[in-house]
Chains A and B, each alone.
Chain A
Amino acid sequence: AQSVTQPDIHITVSEGASLELRCNYSYGATPYLFWYVQSPGQGLQLLLKYFSGDTLVQGIKGFEAEFKRSQSSFNLRKPSVHWSDAAEYFCAVGAPGFKAAGNKLTFGGGTRVLVKP
C-alpha cells in the first residue's frame, strides 16, 4: 500500500521569504501526486498535480513542485510567500492501476505554515 510522509509538522516563514514543503511517498511504481491547501475553515483546494511528463509542475497561487523519482519526493515550493499563504498543506498520492478503485487519495499528515509579517 502507498504511504505519504510530510516530515515537517509546522513551518514558520517570513513574508516575502521562500518556502519549501517536503513530501516523500512510498509506492511500487510512479504514483499520481497532488498538493492540496486547506485554509482555516475551508475545504481542500488543489494546488497542483503530477501524472507524467515534465517533472516540474506549476500550480496556482505561484506554487510549483518537483517530482524526483530517485528520492521518491514531490516537494512544494514558492519563491516569495504572502501572508495569505498561511494554511495547512497536504501532499497526497493516488495509485493508478486499480480501475475499480477510482483514485483513492492517501494523504500525508500535513504541514502547517505560519507566515510572520
Chain B
Amino acid sequence: GAGVSQSPSNKVTEKGKDVELRCDPISGHTALYWYRQSLGQGLEFLIYFQGNSAPDKSGLPSDRFSAERTGGSVSTLTIQRTQQEDSAVYLCASSLGRGAFTDTQYFGPGTRLTVL
C-alpha cells in the first residue's frame, strides 16, 4: 500500500509569492497533520484535521498560513506572501484516527520550501 505522499518535493519561490503544498494521506486515514522542520525551530506542529471536525490550527505561526482538507482526504497547505523565514521542510503525517491518543502517525517525505 502507498504511504503518505507530498508534492512538490522541492519548491523555490520568491519572497512575497504564494505557495501551495499538497499532501495525500494513506487511504482510510481520517487524521492528518502538518509539521514544519526548520533549522532554527526544529520540528513543530502546525495543524491537525480529524474527519469532519473543525481543524486544530493552534500551531500555525501567522495568518499567512492556512490549510484545507477536501473530501476528508487530500490536504493543501497554503502560505501567502512568503517570507524567507518560511523556508523549511513541510512534513505531512496521517493516522487512522480511530483513537486520537494511540494512533501512530505516518510521515510523508516532505516538501522542501526555499524562499529567495
Q: Which chain A residues have a beta carbon within 8 Å of chain B's beta carbons?
A: 32, 36, 41-46, 49, 51, 90, 92, 94, 96, 99-110
Contacts and interface: CB of A to CB of B under 8 A. Distances in A.
Interface string B47-75: 01010010010110000000000000000
A110 to B, nearest CB: 7
Nearest to B43: A107
B42 A51 contact: no
Interface stretch (B12-20, B76-84, B105-113): B105-113
B102 A32 contact: yes
B100 interface: yes
B56 A101 contact: yes
Interface of B: 4, 31, 33, 35, 42-45, 48, 50, 53, 56, 58-59, 91, 93, 95, 97, 100-110
A43 B4 contact: yes
Nearest to A92: B43
A100 B105 contact: no
A44 B37 CA distance: 11
20 contacts: A36-B107, A41-B109, A43-B4, A43-B107, A43-B108, A44-B107, A46-B104, A49-B104, A51-B101, A92-B43, A96-B101, A100-B53, A101-B56, A101-B100, A102-B50, A102-B56, A102-B97, A103-B101, A108-B42, A109-B42
Nearest to B97: A102
